[in-house]
């Protein structure tokens, strides 16, 4: 999908030599995680430092019920969780196929993003098992560029194992590590 408001971002457009260090640091941070909580902290660091957001949520997909359950969050309020529903059919199809979905939302009067910005599928065994939602960019970050999309693609492909363990599967976990604001 490609229109003036939203974009279903498929595979990255190619290697950017300037982005190699950022991707390498993200890869190392997740690979060196010591357990799930450390992996989640690593994910928060990668999103904050490299993607420019401190408002994120991780929703686990429960394929049996067709629902999304909040697994972990940082810096967001409960009322923003409804934004996952705003994905709509096209966005949901993109994410469930394993493609990032970028919401091109208008900024509010303060200059902050009014809606969720990016939906990143977390994949294991060729299935979307969770969705990382980036709710708002920091004021100094205007938009996502190709290198940001490469990092989102990396997270989509590589984050499941450190976050959910080597046996990551497509049903919701019984307990997430919780919410932090």
Residues 61-77 pLDDT 10s: 887 887 788 889 898 87
Residue 67: per-residue pLDDT:
79
User: What is the Cα–Cα distance from 151 to 128, expressed in whole angstroms?
Assistant: 17
Q: For domain 6-180, give the fold.
A: Beta-Lactamase (3.30.450)
Which tens digits make up the pLDDT trace of 141-155? 877 788 888 999 999
pLDDT higher than threshold 50 for residue 180: no
Q: Distance of CA 53 to CAs 43, 97, 133, 135, 175, Å?
A: 11, 24, 10, 8, 25
* Domain boundary assignment for the chain: 6-180
User: What is the Cα–Cα distance from 115 to 106, expressed in whole angstroms?
Assistant: 8
Q: Distance of CA 34 to CAs 9, 37, 136, 145, Å?
A: 31, 8, 28, 31
Tokens of 37: 């909580």
Q: Which of 3-12, 45-54, 64-73 has the lowest mean pLDDT?
A: 3-12
């Amino acid at each position: 999908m490609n229109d003036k408001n939203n974009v279903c971002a498929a595979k990255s457009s190619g290697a950017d030599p300037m982005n190699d260090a950022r991707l390498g640091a993200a890869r190392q941070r997740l690979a060196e995680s010591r357990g799930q909580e450390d992996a989640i902290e690593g994910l928060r660091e990668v999103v904050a430092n490299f993607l420019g957001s401190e408002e994120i949520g991780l929703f686990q997909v429960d394929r049996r019920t067709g629902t999304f359950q909040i697994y972990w969050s940082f810096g967001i309020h409960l009322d923003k969780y409804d934004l996952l529903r705003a994905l709509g059919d096209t966005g949901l199809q993109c994410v469930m196929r394993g493609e990032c979905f970028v919401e091109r939302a208008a900024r509010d009067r303060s200059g902050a993003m009014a809606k969720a910005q990016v939906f990143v599928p977390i994949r294991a065994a060729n299935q979307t098992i969770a969705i990382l939602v980036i709710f708002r960019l920091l004021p100094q970050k205007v938009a996502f560029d190709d290198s940001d999309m490469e990092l989102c693609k990396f997270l989509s492909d590589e984050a499941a194992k450190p976050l959910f363990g080597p046996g990551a599967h497509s049903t919701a976990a019984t307990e997430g590590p919780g919410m932090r604001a």
